[in-house]
Copies of this chain bind each other. A is one copy, B any other.
Amino acid sequence: MTEQHVPGERSTGTRHGKRPTMSDVAEKAGVSRALVSLIFRNAPGASEQTRQRVFDVAKEIGYRPDTAARTLASSRTKTLGVMLTIRNPFHADLVESCYAEADRLGYDIVLSTTVPTRGEERAVDALLGHRCEALILLGPKMSEAYLTQLSREHPVVAISRKVPDATLDSVHTAEAKGVREAVDYLVGEGHRDIIHIDGGTGPGSAERRKAYRAAMRKHGLTERIRVIPGNHTEDSGLHAAQVLLDEDALPTAVLAANDRCALGLLGALHKAGVKVPQEVSVVGYDDSRVAMLSHIGLTTVHQNAEELGRLAVRTAVERIESPDAPARELVLDPELRVRDTTGPPR
């Protein structure tokens, strides 16, 4: 690493002077603080002329409303908290659509991500500290007890996680249906040795696992049922590949926990010289944008991220407005997207 010192004009200007407040604007514009407040809140009760003058003064002295003070003073914060896992490309899709819908409904969004060193509880604490009016949790892995507790104290919407008899709203796709379609399709192509890498305790995993078993049974393939434990990261795909490659024979098709898992699996298979889909077919889950873009198009179960995000925000806002309405579960239909990682068995 090298380090350079840039000359620059350090000593000039307003550098780090005290941040201007509403009072500064008021004084300079020759009006009361209350009026400035009113104008910045877009509330009626100020003449167009004054309004303009206040905005001009504000711009001139570089005033920005202070979110903290605003939050503290007002009963409403008009803020939604979104918990996500920044590594997850599908979450990126969801976040984008959340923003769009929140904008439409006049809400702000604050993000809080989990990272390896920062678990879901910390992420949630940060959001609640910001006085979010509702939480939107993207694929939460937290315990059911904690989730239930949380939803008793705050409006909570979970995306991609179904909680039986829950007190919280949830928005997700019909996991079972997606898996069933995938298995039906693979069987239709002639596969019989279809295994499943599951998502462990990840959101939706239990349903997918169950649906896989049911679908296999339906096709009379009960004895071929096999689940390799995994999770929702690339690593689990990699790991599953190692397990499979150590054995005598590969299955002809693999149903991965999600796209990330599928990508990890594909990477490892490719390194081992296994041809996809000639030797093994691979199906993902999510259809995050990367799946589409990867140079071999991944066959995957499409979840409508845009709609999921939109509905989650709508549901959150409705929940804020009527806290005691019964909990809702919104279920979208998934759709199998056949691309290039699947074909007839070898």
Question: Once the chains bind, are A270 and B290 in contact (CB under 8 Å)?
Answer: no
Q: Does chain B have a CB within 8 A of A129? A: yes
Q: Separation in Å of the A63 CB from the closest CB of chain B? A: 11
Q: Separation in Å of the A295 CB from the closest CB of chain B? A: 4
What sequence of 0s and 1s flags, for each residue 245-289 of chain A, a beta carbon within 8 Å of any chain B beta carbon?
000000000000000000110110111000010000000000001
Q: Does chain B have a CB within 8 A of A116? A: yes
Q: Does chain B have a CB within 8 A of A2? A: yes
- Which interface residue of A68, A167, A327 has the most chain B CB atoms within 10 A? A68
With known contacts A108-B126, A266-B295, A5–B328 Cβ distance under 8 A: yes
Q: Separation in Å of the A119 CB from the closest CB of chain B? A: 12
- Interface size counted on chain A using CB atoms at 8 A: 88
For residue A295, which residues in chain B have a CB less than 8 angstroms away from its CB?
263, 266-267, 269-270, 276, 294, 296
For residue A166, which residues in chain B have a CB less than 8 angstroms away from its CB?
6, 8
For residue A270, which residues in chain B have a CB less than 8 angstroms away from its CB?
295-296
- Which interface residue of A130, A155, A276, A311 has the most chain B CB atoms within 10 A? A130
Q: Does chain B have a CB within 8 A of A346? A: no
Q: Separation in Å of the A76 CB from the closest CB of chain B? A: 13
- Which interface residue of A62, A77, A269 has the most chain B CB atoms within 10 A? A62
- Which interface residue of A72, A324, A330 has the most chain B CB atoms within 10 A? A72
Q: Does chain B have a CB within 8 A of A41? A: no
For residue A6, which residues in chain B have a CB less than 8 angstroms away from its CB?
165-167, 326-329
Alpha-carbon distance between A111 and B15 when the two chains are bound, in angstroms? 24
With known contacts A68-B72, A293-B264, A295-B296, A14–B153 Cβ distance under 8 A: yes
Question: Once the chains bind, are B3 and A167 in contact (CB under 8 Å)?
Answer: no
Q: Does chain B have a CB within 8 A of A46? A: no
Alpha-carbon distance between A65 and B266 when the two chains are bound, in angstroms? 46
Which residue of chain B has its CB nearest to the CB of A311?
B1
Q: Separation in Å of the A157 CB from the closest CB of chain B? A: 13
Which residue of chain B has its CB nearest to the CB of A298?
B295
Stretch at the interface among A84-92, A184-192, A199-207, A221-229: A84-92
Q: Among the listed B64, B111, B118, B327, which residue makes an inter-chain contact with A113, where contact means beta carbons less than 8 Å apart?
A: B111
With known contacts A9-B167, A110-B110, A296-B270, A154–B16 Cβ distance under 8 A: yes
Question: Once the chains bind, are B67 and A130 in contact (CB under 8 Å)?
Answer: yes
Alpha-carbon distance between A128 and B64 when the two chains are bound, in angstroms? 8
Question: Once the chains bind, are B129 and A100 in contact (CB under 8 Å)?
Answer: no
